[in-house]
Structure 1
Amino acid sequence: MSSNRLFSFLFLLVLPFSSSSDTTSWIKSGFWYAGSVFPTPEIPTMYTHLHVAFAHINTSNFEVFINNSDEPYISTFTKTVKQNNPSVITLLSIWGGSDESPDFFAMTSEFSRRKSFITSSIKTARLYGFQGLDLNGVYPNTAANMTNMRTFIEEWRTTINSESNNSLILTMGAYYSPMLDQSMKYPVETIVRNFDWVHLRSYDYYLPSKNNVTRAHSALYDPSSTRNTDYGIKEWIKNGLPANKIVIGLAYHGYAWTLVNPNHNMVGSPARGPAITSDGSSINYRDIKGYMKSDGAILVYNSTYVVNYVTNGPLWIGYDDVEAIRTKVSYAKDKGLRGFAAFQIPNDDVDWELSKAGYIIILCKSLL
C-alpha cells in the first residue's frame, strides 16, 4: 500500500481516537490552562498525559499554592478527564516565575524554603489526584542560581523517591535551547538524572509586540537565525540531554502583525506592531480559522520555516496549521524524541483538527 493511500486509510480509521499498542510508549501530552472556557471531559483520549497550568510559589512561606479562582478547575481536573480516559496521566505544572524567575530562586536559596516547596508540592499533587509534577518557566541567570537549582532538583527527586508510594512523575518545561546566554546554560547533567523528560518551549520565538517584522514564531527551521526548534533540540542533545528525554512543544496559537505594506506579506516583511490584539497577545487556532474565512484572505504554507500564514490587507497572522503539526510530529519521531506537548489543548478547533493531525502521523510511522 502506498504512503498516500495508507495515510487516507488511517485518517478514516482513527477519527474516534482508538488506542494502539504501537504508540503507547510515546508521550502525547498537552496543557490545559486553568480558567479556560473548556469542557474538560471532552479532551480527546489520544493524549497520554495532561498538564494543568499553573500552581504558583507563595513568596512568604515558599509553599506551592493554587489561586482561589483556579481551585475549582484544578481540584476536579483529574477526576473529570479520567471519566472518558481512565488511563490518562495528569500532572500539576508549577510556574517558576518570570523575569529570570525571582520567586523560584528565592525559594531555592535556603534549605528550609526548598523543603517547604517540596513538601507542599507533593502534598498538593496527592490531594488532587495528580500523578506527576512539572516545573515550568525557570531560567537560571547567575552561577549562584545555577548551584541552588542543582541542589533543589536533587532534593526534590530524592524526597519523591523516599516515599513509600514513589510513583510521581517529574517533568520540566524549558527554553528551546539549553543556552540562556553566552555564559549560562541549564544544569543538563542534573536534569538528565532527575527528570523523566523535558518539554521544550519551541515557540514564541518572535512576538509582534517586540519585533517589527513578520516572523515564524514557532519555526522548525530558520536559515537566517538560531531561533528555531531544530537548532535548539540539537543544542540540547549536544549538551548531554538524550533525545529520548526531549518532548517537542507544539503551538496551538499564533500571532498577528500589522504590515507596513500589504503587498509585502511574506516572512520577514516590515510590520508596525500587533494586529487584532492591541497588546500583541496570542490568538488561538480556532479563532485564526475564523479570520481565514474573511474575504480576500490569502493562505500560505512556507515549508522553509514550517509555518502557515494568512494575509488580508495589512493583517498578517503566523501560526501552525495541520500540515505544520504533521511535519513537526514526524520530525520528532524521526529524531527519536520522547513525544510532543501541545500548548494548549483548548486552542484547538471544535473538531480537534490539530490533535488528530499529530496522532495520525504517529500511527502512520508506527505501521510503515
Structure 2
Amino acid sequence: MQMCTVCWVPGLLLLIGTAVCLAACPCSDPALCQPIQHSRDFEVYVFLVRGKNWKHYDWSEVTTVALFAPYDPELMCFAHSKGARYVLTGDVSVKKIVDPKVRADWIAEKVNLAKAQYMDGINLDIEQPVLPQTPEYYALTDLVKETTEAFHREIPGSQVTFDVAWSPKYVDVRCYNYSAIAELSDFLFVMSYDEQSQIWTECIAGANAPFNQTITGYEQFINISIDPKKLVMGVPWYGYDYVCLNLTEDNRCALEKRAFRGAPCSDAVGRQVGYGTIMKQVNSSLTGRLWNDEQKAPFYNYKDKNGETHQVWYDDPESIRLKAAYIKKLGLRGIGMWNGDLLDYSDDPVAQEQTKEMWKALIP
C-alpha cells in the first residue's frame, strides 16, 4: 500500500502519494522551475564539481550540467533560463540493487529529490566491477530501465544518462550489458579518459586519452549495434603528472610498476592535474610544450624541488579538436568533459584566452 504524506506548499496543504515536499520556486520567474522539455541537436555535457565557476561557462553551447557539488538553486534558475538541463548524479552499490525493493526505493528517493529541487533528470555514475551473467549484471540493467521509466513518467522531458568507460571491452572489469543500457537510457556518456588505468605494454608514461585508442573505443561501441546518437564523447580537461624512474633522450619516461586488475602497470602511479594548473607550469618547464604525433597529445618534462624528473601528459585545444572532428564523422550525439571546473576562470587575460580556446575546441 502506498503511504500518503502531508506536505506544505506555500499557501496550500497537499495530501500526496509520495514524500515530495516542494519548496517555493527559488527563481524570480516561476516558469524557470519547469523542467526543460526539449533537446538540442548537439549535446554539450558539463560535470560541475565545485563553486561558482559555472558563471563563466560558455552557456551558448551548454545543454546539460550534471551536479557533483551541493545543489545550487541559483544555478538551476540560470541553467533553465539558458534552456539547459540541470541533473542529479547517482551511484549505488550493485550488490545491493540485486534486491528489487532496494532498487525501487533508491530510484524513488532520486526522483523525489529531483522533483523537490526542480531538476531535469539524473546521470548514473556507477563505475563498479561487474562480471557478466551475474545477478549484479542483470540488476544493473534493470536499474537503468526502471530509473529511466520513473524519471520520464514523473518529470516530463527529463534525461537519464549512464557513464561508461572508453571502450565496451570490459575495461576495469566493468562487464555491463552496454547495448541494453544504451537502449534503455537517453544516452551514454563515454569517459574517454583514464585510458591508461590498465597498461598492458611497457610501463612508460603516455597520453591520458590517445587519439587512436579513443576513436577505436567509439567504433567498438557502434560495432555492438549501439546507435551513434546514443553516444556522447567525454574528453579530459586534466592530465597526469608522472615521476620518471628514468627518462631517455627520446622522452620515454619509465614508470613504477603498480599492478591494477591484472595489468602490470597503471596511471594510478601518476597524479591528476587540471588544465589550468598545467598552463601555469608548462612554459617554465624543462622542455616547454612537446607534441607526440603517434598519440596526438601534448606533454612536457620538469624537475621538482627534490630533483626528480616528471613528465606531464594532458589534452589541449589541438588534441581535443582532433577527437571532436570525429563526432560528425561517426554521427555521435555530442561532447562533454570531466570536468567544467578544471580551467582557470580568473581575470588573468592569458588564462581567459586559454579557457576560451578550450571551450571552442568542443565544437566540431
Structure 2 letter corresponding to 1:328: K
Q: CA deviation at 1:114?
A: 1.0
**Alignment-derived partner of residue 209 in structure 2:** 218
Note if contact 1:237-1:243 (Cα within 8 Å) is conserved in structure 2.
Answer: yes
Q: What's the CA shift string for 1:154-193, capped at 9, x where partnerless?
A: 2222223433x43211111111111216997421342233
- How does 1:1-368 map onto structure 2 within 5 Å? 24-33=40-49, 36-45=50-59, 46-53=61-68, 70=69, 73-76=70-73, 78-79=75-76, 81-82=78-79, 86-96=82-92, 103=93, 105-139=94-128, 140-143=130-133, 144-163=135-154, 165-180=155-170, 185-206=175-196, 212-221=203-212, 228-264=213-249, 266=251, 268-272=252-256, 280-294=270-284, 296-313=286-303, 314-350=309-345, 351=352, 353=354, 356-357=357-358, 359=360, 362=363
Q: 1:329 to 1:79 in 2, by over 3 A?
A: same
Q: Which runs of 5+ in 2 are unaligned?
A: 1-38, 259-267, 304-308, 346-351
Higher Rg: 2
Q: CA deviation at 1:265?
A: 5.3
Q: Matched residue of 1:152: which SS?
A: helix
Percent identical among aligned pairs is: 16
Q: What's the CA shift string for 1:122-159, capped at 9, x where partnerless?
A: 11112222212110133422422111122222222222
Q: 1:76 to 1:280 in 2, by over 3 A?
A: farther
With normalisation by structure 1, the TM-score equals 0.73
Rounded Cα–Cα distance in structure 2 between residues aligned with 1:192 and 1:148: 15
**Alignment-derived partner of residue 33 in structure 2:** none
Q: What's the CA shift string for 1:265-305, capped at 9, x where partnerless?
A: 53x5313489xxx9733100000011112153331122321
Q: Which runs of 5+ in 1 are unaligned?
A: 1-22, 54-69, 97-102, 222-227
Note if contact 1:326-1:357 (Cα within 8 Å) is conserved in structure 2.
Answer: no
Note if contact 1:330-1:361 (Cα within 8 Å) is conserved in structure 2.
Answer: no
Q: What's the CA shift string for 1:334-364, capped at 9, x where partnerless?
A: 21111111110111233263564453663xx
Rounded Cα–Cα distance in structure 2 between residues aligned with 1:173 and 1:302: 29
Q: What's the CA shift string for 1:307-351, capped at 9, x where partnerless?
A: 110113522100001101111111222211111111101112332
